[in-house]
Structure 1
């Protein structure tokens, strides 16, 4: 297998079996690495930068005090996971262990803005122009800088009266805990599409979806 070969979902799952720090989320690999101090987090950030330069493959890294949120995908392979991503994830985990960092998959959440539409091609260009987004998958728009939430168009012949909702992506390993907290906070849950997603409706009728990597990522 070449370094730029896109990995299938079974191949990704096989890689993740030996990458306990990492999860598959929204088409990429993700890890949250909590360090003993903010200074050590910066040292780890620098180490990740050196590994990226050596591999000529650069992850997205978000530094938040003592925690680094790291995302890996191969943009030159259509923003898919490749063997390069798995190799760099393994190297980053080794550097994280040297820094005394702890993986915190419970912190891995991502939000998509979802819109029900019976013809998303009629409305997507206006949203792309307003947000400065580019097309990702055929039914989504992405921020080229990777800072803002993805906008996803849910194709349906019967759009909901409230066309907007949030898709909140969590690792499957954390989903039951999150769902229990959402339900305890007063929302009702529709689990008919679990484990891909569970629709939660709050006390005033607003909807959101708790999604996992068993959904569209599968």
Structure 2
């Protein structure tokens, strides 16, 4: 089992990713997408990744979509952060993908969060946790224990926006440019004050979303 002392620092994660070009860092995990030649090939890759998981006793979140396999590794026993176990598992999965002639498409791995502007998160978080059947996450957020629904977090602010609920769309910094450019081309208002961490997008009716990257996201190393 991993513990907080096993959580990798952000420089250590970046150094590991330099040797893992198929993978990206995302909200306490390592993520990627593999495109296999066929749906059957994707299933074979899932079986291979499953075998690796059993051998290493470290299991990823997997999502199969025809000939694509979405994979996320995190160390839940280390506070849902990245540990050396995730790096080892991602390395082995990359080898299995190469053996299966699968091509990495990490830019397809998008992560969605819902954010609520509030001046008192503690006054409302329990309502949402119970109603959604979620559990508490890494930094006061709420997460689906089965990884199916989007996370929910509370953006604490003394002056909540009139539209209190907005969507955060997380992409890797390496792949964020085209998405930002295409969104700007729709005529939306783009606020880059916090870039590259996030760009605030406002549509013509005042609804907001944020296009986010891993920039500025540091692992929780505890006290």
Write the distance in 1 (CA, Å) between the matches of 2:213 and 2:28: 11
Deviations along 1:7-53, whole A, 9 cap, x unmatched?
01110000000000000011110001111110100000000000000
Matched with 2:18 is: 17
- CA-based RMSD of the aligned residues comes to 1.3
Q: Is 1:139–1:154's contact at 8 Å kept on the other side of the alignment?
A: no
Following superposition of structure 1 onto structure 2, how do residues 137-152 of structure 1 map, counting pairs within 5 Å?
137-152=138-153
Question: What are structure 2's unaligned runs of at least 5 residues?
Answer: none
Write the distance in 1 (CA, Å) between the matches of 2:163 and 2:202: 12
- Secondary structure at the aligned position of 1:80 is classed as coil
What's the CA shift for 1:3?
A: 6.4
Matched with 1:78 is: 79
Moved segments of 4+, more than 4 Å: none
Write the distance in 2 (CA, Å) between the matches of 1:3 and 1:127: 30
- Secondary structure at the aligned position of 2:161 is classed as coil
Write the distance in 2 (CA, Å) between the matches of 1:25 and 1:73: 10
Matched with 1:35 is: 36
Q: Is 2:80–2:138's contact at 8 Å kept on the other side of the alignment?
A: no
Deviations along 1:75-116, whole A, 9 cap, x unmatched?
111111000000000000000001111111221111100000
Question: What are structure 1's unaligned runs of at least 5 residues?
Answer: none
Write the distance in 2 (CA, Å) between the matches of 1:42 and 1:56: 20
Normalising by structure 2, what TM-score?
0.94
What's the CA shift for 1:138?
A: 3.8
Matched with 1:64 is: 65
Write the distance in 2 (CA, Å) between the matches of 1:97 and 1:188: 42
Normalising by structure 1, what TM-score?
0.97
Aligned residue pair count: 217
Q: Is 2:197–2:212's contact at 8 Å kept on the other side of the alignment?
A: yes
- Secondary structure at the aligned position of 1:87 is classed as helix
